[in-house]
Structure formats: C-alpha cells, structure tokens
C-alpha cells in the first residue's frame, strides 16, 4: 500500500494523514442523527404492530402481554412501594434495586476474579511458547465444556447459594479474556520488541512496557466479551437457589406464570448488560484510542 | 573516481587505512549464518571506522538483513566474531541499534515519548534536552505531540532514526531505511541523513539493494554475492562532499553508478 507523504501533518484533517490503516475507515458511517433515526425506526414499527395486535385481541396476553401492561409491570418493579418481606417468597413489586444489586454484585465480583486470573494467564500463554504448549490443550478442552455443564459441579463444590453462582459467572467471563489476551499478546510485532531491546529496555520490562500496551486493543475486546458473557451467565448462576437477583425473580415469576414479570426481567438484563459494555468501553477508550481506525 | 581496491574478501587492513590506526567501531570477521539447511551468510568480513558510512549492496534475498540482525545482536552467528568497540556482541544493545524499512515507532506513544524511550530506559536525566535537539535536527519539532500514525511515511522514518540516535550510539545499523518511500521523498531523506550523520559523526552500516543510495551515502561500498553471501568487492567512494542531489549528476558519480550497476546485473 502506498504511503502518502504529507509534510506538516499537524494542521491537517486526520483522515487525510492517517495512511494505510485509515483505508478501512473510509467506508463512511451514517451521521449521528441519521443512525439514531434509522436505529429507532424498526423498534418503533414493531412496537406499534405489537400494540395494535394486542389491542385487537389477535395476540393473546398469555403469549405476549401488551406493551402498556409491560410498562406498568416495569414501573411496579422499579418504583412501587415494597410489600412486607415474606420468607421464602421472591418479591417483585418495588424490588428492582434489591434484585439488581444482587445480580450486579454477583457479576462484578466474579468478573474481578476472572480479570485477576485471565489477564496473567493470557499474558503467560501469549509470551511463552512453553507455557502455551503446556497449558493450551487443557485450556481449550475445558473451554469446550458448555457453561451450564459447570452448574452441577459448581453446586457440589460450593453448595446452594451465591458461591456456586459466582463460580459459574467466573467460568463464563474468564475464557474470552484469556483467549483474547493470549492471542493479541502473541501477535505483537516482533519489530516493536526488537526496537525496545535495542533502545536499552530490560528484558523483564518488556511485558509491561511493550507487550501489554501493544496488545491492549485486542485485550479490551476480550474484556468486553468476557463482561457480556459473564452477565448472560448470571441468570444460570442464579439457578442455585438464591432468593435475590434478576434470575431468581424471573424463575419465581415463571412458577406463577407471570409472563410480564419475566419479560421485565429480560429487559432489565438487556439494559444493564448494555450499560456495562458502554461503561467499559468508555473507561478503556483513552488507552486504546491510538489504535482506532 | 572510485578506486577498485579488491575483489577479495575485505581485510581489516584496507578499512583501517582510511582512519590512520583509530580502532574500528565495528569489526566482524568470518561471520557465517544458516537457518537449518539454508546457508544465508557464507563468510562475511566487514569493519566500520569511527564516523564512517559503509554501504552494503546486494541483490534481494542475499542475506543483507540477516547480516544486520547478526551485527545488531538479534541473532547469534554460527561462526565468526563480531565486536563493537573491541567488545564482543552478545544480544541487542543500545550502542548499535538497527532501523529497518517501515516504522518501528511505538504506535501508542507520541513522537516525543517515542524519542524519549531510549534515554529514559538508560536512566539518562538529559532525555528531555536530547530529544528537543533531535526533534529540531529532524525537523519534527512541530509534530512532537502527534501519534506515529498521524505522521507521514517520511516523517515516521526520520523519527525512527532519531529514536535510536537519542541514545547517542557509536554505530548505527540501517536496513533499507527509505525503501518504502517514493523517489523524491527518498532523496530528501537521504540528504537529511547525510547531513545528520556527518554532523554527529555516527559510524553507520547501511544495507541497501539500491546502487544509487549506496553510492550517495557510503564512504565505502561492499558488494555482496547471491546467497550464501560473501563479499565480492570493496570500493572506496571518494566523491566530493557535501553530497546531495547535485552529486547525482556529477560525472564521476554517473560513471561509477554505471560501472557498479553493470557488475550487479552481471553477477
């Protein structure tokens, strides 16, 4: 690919100066408001059709409650005054904060453990061919076990309760972190490492000063996948007999056939998962901006 | 006029003749290197005197880059010895950095941080001042706070050379440093490098497949054979200084270029 010579690039539009890597970015994206309008159009159409089908009775409330009913349930979940707690009963009205706190606590607790295990393990796999040769086959084999298949053994090891749940979310979150960290570390250009050594960087500083920053954009992708996968595992982790958490609420709702409450739980999962991803991306952006196309 | 000194492998006596007994910055003798059954370097002898620019000319794939990697300490030779300032080379070190074609800057750091990397790694407290001076010398002062990808190819290449010069190495190893640039930019870069090396008196080993570049930059020329590489001939290039674009039309340069080109093509 031809290199473009642009002297005094400081004052120029970045797109003009960036060179080869910007070729990808030249597939122009829609402007902000256009994307917002187009992105909202489909949900709006579907919502309207859904409302009409529900109002005319074609769509039975037993299959899918009307949007208005769902909105009411959602409001009850979030702001209704809470009833007195009854032992053994999973509350719904006004219990949003309580359930979210439990689920997010499970999620973040397990995710922090997954970070502490996944990042060093991934770096070791990416840096050392010996470690990779020794650990990778076993790791890949374990990774092929479906997350839900870890539930029985988690229950045996940790008993009923949040310990087993945290174990399961950890299993879900850790493998994308390890895979992405190992892969992007192994892909760090040899030339960068050679240059660092020729500039006098001590070998033991290479991991921290060269491999880690160079691999960071790829690692962040793994961190995002791990965060999302961990969140989707939270509901399985709440099959462990806990009485608080979005998953617990949804299974309780299924017992009494409250489809509206189940859907409210799904919507809450979607909102929180999306928020988590946005926060992680925002937090990592200053560190990876150099690699943006 | 280029004197044809020898078609035999270079002897250190020849190169030391230029420098009146000053110890060579680089001495490599009998260097051989193979990758498995592939013999890349058969027998290479090369020395570079302080302040001297030696151009190594060879056909593509002849092992020029392997030679530089061995001299830089990035690869051990199978046979032979490599010494820098009288000390045997063991592993890469900031006193003989190599700059290759294409940017070797750290893409997540600004230009200034890239240039400061070396002095800071060596604990040099003068890092800031050294880098200011280098930015000035490379004409990049205005771009100090840009990221490498925001620089043009020519600016990046200059910056990569400035980056290793920040450690004030006695020897610079250049592997086709301007190969990726267009012809005009390359000439401007060559003129800039000639001035910089002359001013700093940095001994340099430049590897290239471009006859013109070898003649323009080198004080001395080594021509390598096809793989497995040996030194075919050595030429002293006593063209008038300062060299630059006008050198290209100098009759002696034109004659020499035709001469060398013919031998390269017939090899």
Q: What is the ipTM of this complex?
A: 0.82
| A10 near B CB under 8 A | yes
What is the DSSP secondary structure assignment for residue A80, as one 8-state letter?
S
Contact state of B163 with A199 under an 8 Å Cβ cutoff: yes
Predicted confidence band of residue A16 (pLDDT cuts 50, 70, 90): very low
Question: Which among A6, A202, A290 has CB closest to B107?
Answer: A290
Rounded to the nearest 10 degrees, what angle do helices A212-237 and A259-288 cross at?
170
Contact state of B149 with A18 under an 8 Å Cβ cutoff: yes
Residue A26 pLDDT: 52
Residue B7 pLDDT: 40
| A275 near B CB under 8 A | no
| A191 near B CB under 8 A | yes
Contact state of A201 with B143 under an 8 Å Cβ cutoff: no
d(CA A229, CA A168): 11
Q: Where are the domains of chain A?
A: 65-292
* pTM above threshold 0.90: no
Among B48, B35, B25, CA closest to B76: B35
Considering only the top CATH level, what class is B26-97+170-266? alpha beta
Q: Is the pLDDT of residue A18 over 70?
A: no
Phi and psi based region of residue A7 (left: phi greater than 0; alpha: psi -120 to 50; beta: remaining): beta
Question: Which among A9, A191, A205 has CB closest to B100?
Answer: A191
Predicted confidence band of residue A17 (pLDDT cuts 50, 70, 90): very low
- Return the number of other C-beta atoms located less than 10 Å from residue A203's C-beta: 11
What is the DSSP secondary structure assignment for residue B228, as one 8-state letter?
S
Residue A223 pLDDT: 96
A9 interaction partners in chain B (CB closer than 8 Å): 143, 146, 150-152, 155
d(CA A57, CA A186): 59
The rounded radius of gyration (Å) of the Cα atoms in chain A is: 24
Residue B3 pLDDT: 42
| A217 near B CB under 8 A | no
How far B139 CA sits from the closest chain A CA (Å)?
10
Contact state of B154 with A290 under an 8 Å Cβ cutoff: no
Residue B14 pLDDT: 39
Architecture of domain A65-292: Orthogonal Bundle (1.10)
Residue B188 pLDDT: 86
Contact state of B142 with A10 under an 8 Å Cβ cutoff: yes
d(CA A47, CA A53): 10
Question: Which among B117, B150, B164 has CB closest to A9?
Answer: B150
| pLDDT tens readout for residues A251-269 | 999 999 899 999 999 999 9
CB of B218 closer than 8 Å to CB of B55: yes
Q: Which of B72, B105, B108 to mutate to test the interface with A (most CBs of A within 10 A)?
A: B108
Predicted confidence band of residue A51 (pLDDT cuts 50, 70, 90): very high
In chain B, CATH 3.40.50.300 covers: 26-97+170-266
Residue A214 pLDDT: 95
| pLDDT tens readout for residues A164-187 | 999 999 999 999 999 999 999 999
Could you list the beta-strand ranges (E) of B107-170. Answer: none
Contact state of A18 with B94 under an 8 Å Cβ cutoff: no
A201 interaction partners in chain B (CB closer than 8 Å): 117, 121
Region A115-121 average pLDDT: 95
How far A7 CA sits from the closest chain B CA (Å)?
7
Predicted confidence band of residue A12 (pLDDT cuts 50, 70, 90): very low
| pLDDT tens readout for residues B29-55 | 889 999 988 989 988 999 999 989 999
CB of B75 closer than 8 Å to CB of B33: yes
Contact state of A200 with B122 under an 8 Å Cβ cutoff: yes
Among A118, A115, A119, A105, CA closest to A166: A105
Q: Is the pLDDT of residue A200 over 80?
A: yes
CB of B162 closer than 8 Å to CB of B134: yes
Ranges under pLDDT 70 in chain B = 1-22, 103, 267
Predicted confidence band of residue A27 (pLDDT cuts 50, 70, 90): low
Strands B87-88 and B79-84: antiparallel
B100 interaction partners in chain A (CB closer than 8 Å): 191
First to last CA, chain A: 16
B118 interaction partners in chain A (CB closer than 8 Å): 199-200
Residue B159 pLDDT: 92
* Residue linked to tokens 């399985």: A236
Give the residue on B whose Cα is nearest the Cα of A17: B150
Region A51-77 average pLDDT: 92
How far B164 CA sits from the closest chain A CA (Å)?
6
How far A191 CA sits from the closest chain B CA (Å)?
6
Q: What is the mean pLDDT of chain A?
A: 87
Predicted confidence band of residue A292 (pLDDT cuts 50, 70, 90): confident
CB of A182 closer than 8 Å to CB of A122: yes
Region A58-84 average pLDDT: 90
d(CA B86, CA B173): 17
């Amino acid at each position: 690919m031809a290199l473009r010579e642009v002297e005094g690039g400081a004052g120029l539009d970045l797109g003009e100066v960036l060179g080869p890597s910007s070729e990808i970015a030249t597939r122009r994206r829609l402007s902000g408001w256009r994307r917002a309008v187009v992105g909202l159009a489909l949900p709006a159409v579907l919502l309207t059709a859904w409302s009409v089908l529900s109002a005319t009775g074609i769509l039975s409330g037993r299959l899918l409650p009307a949007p208005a009913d769902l909105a009411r349930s959602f409001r009850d979940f979030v702001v209704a005054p809470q009833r007195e707690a009854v032992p053994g009963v999973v509350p719904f009205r006004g219990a949003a904060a309580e359930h979210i706190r439990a689920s997010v606590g499970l999620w973040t607790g397990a995710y922090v453990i997954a970070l502490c295990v996944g990042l060093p393990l991934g770096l070791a796999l990416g840096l050392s061919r010996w470690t990779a040769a020794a650990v990778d086959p076993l790791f890949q084999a374990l990774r092929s076990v479906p997350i839900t298949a870890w539930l029985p053994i988690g229950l045996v090891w940790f008993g009923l309760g949040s310990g087993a749940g945290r174990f399961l979310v950890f299993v879900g979150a850790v493998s994308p972190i390890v895979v992405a960290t190992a892969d992007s570390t192994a892909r760090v250009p040899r030339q960068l490492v050679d240059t660092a050594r020729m500039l006098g960087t001590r070998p033991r500083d290479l991991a921290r000063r060269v491999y880690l920053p160079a691999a960071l954009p790829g690692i962040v992708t793994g961190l995002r996948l791990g965060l999302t996968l961990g969140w989707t595992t939270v509901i399985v982790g709440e099959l462990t007999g806990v009485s608080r958490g979005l998953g617990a609420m949804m299974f309780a709702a299924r017992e009494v056939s409250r489809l509206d409450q189940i859907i409210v739980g799904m919507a809450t999962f979607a909102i929180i998962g999306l928020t988590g991803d946005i926060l992680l991306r925002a937090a990592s952006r200053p560190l990876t901006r150099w690699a943006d196309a | 006029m280029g004197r044809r000194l020898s078609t035999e492998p270079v002897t250190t006596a020849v190169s030391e003749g230029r420098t009146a007994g000053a110890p060579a910055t680089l001495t490599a003798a009998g260097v051989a290197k193979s990758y498995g059954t592939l013999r890349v370097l058969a027998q290479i002898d090369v020395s570079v005197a302080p302040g001297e620019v030696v151009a190594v000319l060879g056909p593509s794939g002849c092992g020029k880059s392997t030679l530089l990697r061995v001299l830089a300490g990035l690869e051990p030779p199978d046979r032979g010895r490599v010494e820098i300032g009288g000390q045997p080379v063991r592993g890469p070190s900031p006193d003989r950095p190599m700059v290759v074609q294409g940017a070797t800057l750290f893409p997540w750091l600004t230009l200034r941080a890239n240039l400061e990397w070396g002095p800071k790694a060596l604990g040099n407290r003068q890092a800031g001042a050294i880098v200011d001076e280098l930015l000035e010398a490379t004409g990049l002062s205005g771009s100090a706070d840009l990221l490498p990808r925001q620089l043009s190819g020519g600016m990046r290449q200059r910056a990569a050379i400035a980056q290793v010069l920040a450690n004030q190495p006695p020897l610079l190893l250049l592997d086709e440093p301007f190969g990726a640039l267009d012809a005009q930019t390359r000439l401007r870069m060559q003129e800039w490098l000639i001035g910089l090396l002359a001013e700093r008196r940095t001994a340099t080993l430049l590897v290239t497949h471009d006859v013109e570049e070898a003649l323009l930059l080198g004080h001395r020329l080594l021509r390598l054979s096809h793989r497995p590489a040996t030194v075919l001939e050595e030429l002293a290039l006593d063209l008038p200084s300062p060299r630059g674009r006008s050198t290209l039309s100098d009759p002696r340069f034109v004659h020499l270029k035709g001469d060398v080109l013919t031998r390269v093509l017939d090899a």
